[in-house]
Structures are given as C-alpha cells and as structure tokens.
Amino acid sequence: MENMENRSCAGQPETGRADQARKAVTYKEAGVDIEAGYETVRRVRRLAASTMRPEVLASVGGFGGGFVLPVGRYREPVLVSGTDGVGTKLKIAFMMNKHDTVGIDAVAYCVNDIICHGAEPLFFLDYFACGRLSPDVAEKVVGGVAEGCRQAGCALIGGETAEMPGFYADNEYDLAGFAVGVVEKDRFIDGSGVRVGDAIIGIKSSGLQSSGFSLVRKVFFEIAKMKVTDYVPELGSTLGEELLRPTRIYARAIAGLIERCEVHGIANISGGGLIENVPRAMRAGTRARIRWGSWPRHPVFSLVQRLGNISHEEMLKTFNLGVGMVVILPGPEADAAMAALHDLGEEAFLIGEIVEGEGGVEIV
C-alpha cells in the first residue's frame, strides 16, 4: 500500500562522552519527512477511493491490497500481469512543473500490455519515489494514476511512496506501476490464431504517448534549442503541452471489440514501434505487411524527424508514428471491427494484412 520508507535501526552502540553530548539526529534532518508521508497517504486514500471496485477488500494505508478474484465468472481464470514506468517523459513534467497527467501514462503502459492478451484489468499499484516528498506534487501524480485507473476500469488498491534524499534531486521523482488482469483460459489471446489473410487494423494514438523521449528531448532541447513554453503552430499548442499529452488507454475499446469480433492478435505499439511490437502478436510462419500512408500521422512525428534529421528506419523502430494499438483479425471482419471501434470512441484504420513468411514486418 502507500507506505513511506521509514525503517530505523533498533540498537545504539556505546559512545564516548563527546558523542553522548552530541545532539540527537532525527530522520527529518536526514532528509525524510515522515509527517509529509502521512499527509500524502491521507490524500492518496481519497484518490484511490474514486477507483474502487466491489472486489476490493482493503483500503489504502494497510500492508497489502486485497482483491477477491471473481472466480465464479470464469471456468479457468488466467491472471495476466504487467509492469512499466513512465521513463524520461517525466523530465517534461519537471520542466513544466505539471504533474497531473504522468500518472495516466503509468497506468496506460501497464494496462495496454495486459489487454493484448484479452485480459480485463482488475487492479493497479503504483511506485512513486522522490528525493524530497511534497504532498502537493504526490497528490497530483497519484491523481493522474487514479484517472488512468478510472479510464481502464481497474482499482488503485495501493502502492509505495519512497522518499530517498541523495538518490533523487529534490524536485524530481520516478513513477512506475504494476497491473493485474484476468481472462478466461480459452479466450487468452497470444497470436497463435493469426492466419495468412488476416487484416491488420491500427488504432490511433494520442501522439508520442510515452516512448522515445530520450531522443525527443535531445532533438527539441539540445539540437533545436526549443523551450517547453514555445508555441508551435503546426502542433496547435506549446511544445510542452504536446509532449505531456497522456497516453491513450484502450482497455474499454479492446474489451468491446473482443465481444463483437474474432480477434487473433493484439499488439501495444510502445517502445520499438510497429517493427518490434507487431511480431509479438503473431505466430511463427506469418509476416505482417503494413502499407505506409494508410493512416494519418500526427504532426509531432514529422516535426521531430525534420528537426533531428532522423531516418525513416529510425523513426519506425522508435515511435508509434500514429498507431497506438494493432489488432489482427479475419479479413472479412475488418469493416465490422473498424465500425465497432468507431462506436467505442476510437479512430481505426485498415493498415495491412498477414502474409506467409518468416516473421517480422515489411513496410510497403
């Protein structure tokens, strides 16, 4: 649950008279403010309550999160778990002093992985570590986590808040998470059902999402010498606003699609782009043929490519390039699937098909 790093030593060695006269050192003087930790837990408990599901047993603040697995709904339930962090996108939050959206990214990158196997997200735990704890900042960060959980339909049942002076700079933090979902064993999606002739559908991303930010920061801030406050006409926003745009969470859309169509494979297009991630959703002996230009590309990708003089190949293996999720299903169901995704609030495009071959992706 949301606990503080507050362990202490039980014993004290014998000391000389000079040492005995020395003022006792407190944990706060060492850089850890336990009272700030207690205040953070109080605030987080309220945020977590907004994500609750009936299966949750314990409230935030205990030693562990309890969740009753709804086994009555399943013949052979399979638990699916995933963990991830926000990465160096956090540097943009520090630069802008804006902390209320990166929590959505933390949830998205965990949840979007487990739904690739057809799992329903059940619960989420976060890990927030900082150099000096600010309850105001922590509340905003975890508020974003709670919002991500609401979008995904899962419960925030706990996490860890660690104050580690000397390890992180005072105004910086790290954020990661862990998600667990469940799926019926005979509905577990692992790509083994992918067939030659299947359609490949791409679901629109929100932009960069949370991948490739080390390269993004180098291009915009080191090469182009831009600032987060610079207004960029082709983006219709400041640079910082675009870079902090949260990752889309596709849990409800994927769940709705699975109920309406026969889905053979799903790939979350995160780090590694289409090239690395699509093959993870396919069986041996099949190859993805993707048609370049069959979906709209967010202008941020053209901007970073132009300013950084980045090759097409480097872009393909680093960024999602406008496709946040790929779904593979029978060709005859492609139109129905795109219509279903539209009804579920997503923009989807027929971007390719499965052909016979030795794995991998070919862009044509």
Q: pLDDT (tens digit, 9 = 90+) per residue, 193-223?
A: 999 999 999 999 999 999 999 999 999 999 9
> What mean pLDDT do residues 49-67 have?
87
The arithmetic mean of pLDDT across residues 95-110, rounded, is 98
> Backbone phi, then psi, for 161, in 5-degree steps?
-115, 115
- Please name which of 66, 140, 58 lies closest in space to residue 106, comparing C-alpha atoms: 140
pLDDT band at 174 (very low <50, low <70, confident <90, very high): very high
The pLDDT of 8-17, averaged and rounded, is 45
Residue ending a domain, among 167, 187, 207, is 187
Task: Say whether pLDDT at 93 is over 50.
Answer: yes
Q: Tell me: the pLDDT tens digits for 118-147?
A: 999 999 999 999 999 999 999 999 999 999
Find the mean pLDDT for residues 71-93.
Answer: 96
> Residues 210, 152: one domain?
no
- The residue from 153, 187, 221 where one domain ends is 187
CATH number of the structural domain spanning residue 336: 3.90.650.10
Question: In whole angstroms, what is the distance from residue 109 CA to residue 85 CA?
Answer: 7
Is 152 within a domain?
Answer: yes
- 226 and 173 together in one domain: no
Task: Determine which helix (DSSP H) or strand (DSSP E) holds 147, and give its type and residue range.
Answer: helix 135-152
How far apart (Å, rounded) are the C-alpha atoms in residues 226 and 27?
41
Q: 345: domain range?
A: 199-363
Same domain membership, residue 210 and residue 166: no
| 13 in any annotated domain | no
Structure tokens given for 363:
């862009």
Number of domains making up the chain: 2
Residues 167 and 297 in one domain: no
Buried b (16+ CB within 10 A) or exposed e, 98-115: ebbbbbbbbbbbbbbbbb
Let me know if residue 328 belongs to a domain: yes
Residues 164 and 257 occupy one common structural domain: no
Question: Mean pLDDT lowest for which of 2-16, 193-207, 292-306, 342-356?
Answer: 2-16
**Cβ neighbours, 10 Å, residue 20:** 8
Q: How far apart are CA 173 and CA 317, in angstroms?
A: 28
Say if strands 237-238 and 265-268 run parallel, antiparallel, or are unpaired: unpaired
The amino acid present at 229, given as its one-letter code, is T
Nearest alpha carbon to residue 321 among 280, 266, 277: 277
Nearest-angstrom CA–CA distance, 223 and 127 = 33
Kindly state whether residues 141 and 281 are assigned to the same domain: no
Is 227 among the domain residues? yes
What percent of the chain lies above the pLDDT cut of 90? 83
